[in-house]
């Protein structure tokens, strides 16, 4: 008995630093709950007016198997496929960036679709094309960290910047970062390197983001020329600048911007003197933490309007447990819905999506559904005998994504069915209520 008691105390001591609450932790939301049944965490996440995109994924979803590139359709992650049904780059796409209708992707590959392309390519909505001879030439191609394009960003001038592990772009020498400008590759000063180059973990640029014509770079590096720069830096078009003393105790894997902040995600422990495990933000003067952070580390982040989404191999964000692989930060108590509803054009013209969670449930049930057109809808709870247990909603439902939260505390334990009827179409989901 003493051993059991000691074990429980030790477990609680180990968990307490992870789940201790700070006020800002209420901003982490589990919007994507149960949207990731099986698979690996994504390499990059991107949000714009057309929706939420993931790169470098392998997901066995509710209705589709997705590899390479994916888009959130309001209910689950769906594959991006061309008119011929081909997924495009699916060997190892790692990063992406959009410029209007053009989607650029970088990674470790020799072709995109049927087009030869060395580790970087462009999709214009109809076909793939290469960017000159691409990026290549990393000196130690035999180990895990061979030539890869880890990061992409596009400035207001339309110049495409790529970062990764490479020493040349096209025909010019470039240390881990280069720019595609007027159909020609150019270096950025002396690039981003380190004092000592480790064979198993060379210096690398893992993330890029631009504001106007300024470019921010994050990764694993400690200098440019003779200037000390710790894992994050800014390029103003002609030279590099540090951001205070940078990110310490780990690397920067992802950067994103909103109207007020530059956000950094990775496996670092501190931003300058600020304790900020896994994630931090820069206001132009100093670094700030986001609640108690994500101690397990962040692989990718993306910000849009009032929201920030983070992905990685974690189950805890702030004090929110079981945020499997993906977490949501929003300081506005009202979550903007339009970012999720905008992707309903991916649904077939005569379909809608419908799922419930958690299942089984002992109290609160979340009913998430998306319809492709306006119309009259009814949500009902039906018992195992097929009779009506409770009417949950009846009325007009507009086109878009919706969520209804149902308190089942007054419903006896057992097997039930939640039925959605909309414009004479019916879908049913089974739910187990346990006490």
* φ, ψ (nearest 5 deg) of residue 212: 65, -120
- Whole-prediction pTM value? 0.63
Ranked by mean pLDDT, the top range of 49-58, 123-132, 183-192, 401-410 is 183-192
For range 277-292, the mean pLDDT: 93
Q: Give the distance, in angstroms, between the CA of residue 347 and the centroid of all CA atoms in the same chain.
A: 22
Omega cis (within 30) before 151: no
- Residue 357: how many CA atoms within 13 Å on its side-chain side? 14
Instruction: Give CA–CA dist 329/430, Å, rounded.
Output: 31
Q: With 0-12 CB in 10 A as exposed, 13-18 as middle and 19+ as buried, what is 200?
A: exposed
What's the length of the chain?
A: 435
Report the range of poorest mean pLDDT among 191-205, 229-243, 351-365, 401-415: 351-365
CB count within 10 Å of CB 415 equals 11
- Amino acid 187: pLDDT: 95
The full DSSP string for 98-160 is EETTEEEEEES-SEETTEE-SSEEEE-SS-EEE-TT-EE--S-TTSSS-SEEEEEEE-TT-PE
- Cα torsion 291, 292, 295, 298 to 10°: value is 0
Task: Please give the pLDDT value at position 32.
Answer: 61
Higher pLDDT, 392 or 141: 392
Contacts of 82 (CB under 8 A, 6+ apart): 88, 113, 126
Domains of the chain: 22-341 (2.120.10.30), 351-433 (2.60.40.10)
C-alpha span between 377 and 27 (Å, rounded): 32
- Cα–Cα distance, 130 to 425 (Å, whole number): 46
Least confident of 4-18, 141-155, 165-179: 4-18
Residue in the block written with tokens 């592990």: 165
Contacts of 74 (CB under 8 A, 6+ apart): 340, 341, 343, 344, 347, 353, 370, 400, 401
């Amino acid at each position: 008995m003493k051993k059991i008691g000691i074990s429980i105390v030790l477990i609680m001591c180990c968990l307490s630093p992870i789940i201790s609450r700070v006020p800002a932790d209420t901003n982490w939301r589990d919007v994507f709950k149960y949207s990731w049944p099986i698979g690996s965490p994504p390499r990059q996440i991107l949000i714009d007016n057309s929706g939420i995109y993931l790169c470098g994924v392998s997901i066995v979803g509710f209705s589709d198997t997705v590899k390479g590139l994916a888009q959130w359709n309001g209910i689950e992650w769906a594959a991006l496929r061309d008119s011929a049904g081909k997924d495009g780059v699916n060997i190892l796409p790692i990063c992406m960036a959009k410029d209007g209708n053009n989607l650029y992707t970088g990674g470790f590959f020799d072709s995109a679709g049927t087009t030869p392309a060395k580790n970087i390519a462009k999709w214009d909505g109809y076909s793939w094309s290469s960017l000159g001879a691409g990026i290549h030439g990393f000196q130690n191609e035999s180990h895990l960290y061979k030539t890869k394009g880890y990061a992409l960003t596009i400035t207001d001038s339309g110049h495409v910047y790529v970062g990764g592990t490479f020493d040349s772009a096209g025909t010019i020498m470039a240390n881990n970062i280069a720019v595609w400008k007027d159909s020609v590759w150019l270096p950025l000063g002396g690039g981003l390197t380190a004092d000592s180059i480790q064979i198993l973990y060379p210096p690398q640029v893992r993330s890029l983001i631009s504001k106007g014509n300024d470019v921010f770079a994050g990764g694993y590096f400690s200098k440019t020329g003779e200037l000390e720069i710790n894992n994050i830096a800014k390029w103003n078009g002609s030279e590099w600048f540090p951001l205070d003393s940078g990110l310490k105790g780990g690397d920067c894997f992802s950067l994103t911007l909103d109207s007020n902040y530059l956000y950094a995600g990775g496996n670092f422990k501190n931003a300058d003197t600020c304790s900020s495990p896994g994630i931090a933000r820069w206001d132009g003067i100093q670094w700030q933490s986001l609640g108690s952070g994500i101690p397990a580390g962040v692989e990718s982040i993306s910000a849009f309007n009032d929201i920030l989404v983070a992905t990685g191999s974690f189950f805890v964000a702030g004090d929110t447990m079981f945020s499997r692989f993906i977490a949501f930060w929003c300081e506005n108590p009202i979550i903007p819905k339009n970012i999720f509803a905008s992707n309903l054009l991916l649904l077939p013209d005569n379909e809608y999506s419908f799922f419930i969670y958690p299942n089984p449930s002992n109290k609160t049930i979340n009913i998430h559904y998306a319809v492709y057109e306006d119309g009259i809808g009814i949500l009902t709870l039906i018992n195992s005998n097929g009779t009506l247990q409770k009417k949950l909603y009846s009325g007009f439902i507009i086109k878009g994504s919706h969520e209804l939260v149902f308190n089942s505390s007054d419903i006896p334990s057992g097997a039930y069915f939640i039925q959605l009827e909309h414009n004479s179409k019916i879908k049913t989901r089974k739910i187990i209520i346990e006490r």
